[in-house]
Amino acid sequence: MSIREEDFKYMQIAEQVAEEMSTCQRGHTGSILVKKKEIILAAGDGTAGCIKSCAELKECPARPKQYEERTGIRLRKCICAERKLISLAARDGIAIGGGTMYVTKKPCLTCAPSIIDAGIERVIYDADNTDTMTSEMMKEANIEFLQLK
Ligand SMILES: [Zn+2]
Ligand SMILES: [Zn+2]
């Protein structure tokens, strides 16, 4: 369970994906999936492909804070890069189980269960956040979950 030299190279590519493929003004995250040293998928955060992006709308549409307080659910039109990648794999029948996911930010609590269920075995992220539950879930699911340092 440690960072490998190749992880830095792949993270650089994930950073480029964030730069080029993210259409979200708020998130700005990139994710790639590597299997047997090949990049098989890449996704940035943003709206579903056919939906107007928040870059076009000049805002990131979300349910108001009151909705979150009332329901405990944080909702926005955009989807995280990790779940977008998993959705694309589902659409095209791409087997991502057993792969390594590189993501420019630590996955959120909503993405963590999808990553686990998708069978991804290794997750390398760059920017950290203060939430610890994602790390706990990954540990429980036996997923190698490491910040690139
Ligand atoms: Zn957005
Ligand atoms: Zn997420």
Distance 64 CA to ligand 1 centre (A): 14
pLDDT in tens, the chain (149 residues): 799 999 999 999 999 999 999 998 888 899 999 999 999 999 999 998 888 888 888 888 887 777 777 776 667 889 999 999 999 999 999 999 999 999 999 999 889 999 999 999 999 999 998 888 999 999 999 999 999 98
Taking the C-alpha atoms of residue 82 and residue 110, their distance in angstroms, rounded to an integer, is: 10
Over the range 117-141, which residues count as b (16 or more CB within 10 Å of their CB) and which as e? ebebbbbbbbeeeeeeebbebbeeb
The residues near 101 (Cβ < 8 Å, ≥ 6 apart) are 31, 32, 33, 34, 82, 85, 115, 120, 122, 123, 124
Backbone angles phi, psi at 65, to 5 degrees: -55, -35
Q: In Å, what is the CA distance from 15 to each residue of 12, 137, 141?
A: 5, 25, 26
Q: What is the pLDDT of residue 73?
A: 65
**Half-sphere exposure of 16 toward its Cβ, with a 13 Å CA cutoff?**
7
Q: Residue 30: which H helix or E strand, with range? A: strand 30-35
Q: Which tokens go with 47? A: 């709206």
Distance 113 CA to ligand 1 centre (A): 21
Distance 11 CA to ligand 2 centre (A): 17
Neighbours of ion ligand 1 (CB under 5 A): 24, 26, 54, 60, 78
Distance 50 CA to ligand 1 centre (A): 14
Q: What is the pLDDT of residue 56?
A: 86
Task: Report CA Rg, the chain.
Answer: 15
Give the closest residue to 76 by CA, choosing from 51, 105, 106, 113. 51
Q: Residue 58: which H helix or E strand, with range? A: none
Q: Which ligand is nearest to the CA of 84?
A: 2
Taking the C-alpha atoms of residue 18 and residue 115, their distance in angstroms, rounded to an integer, is: 19
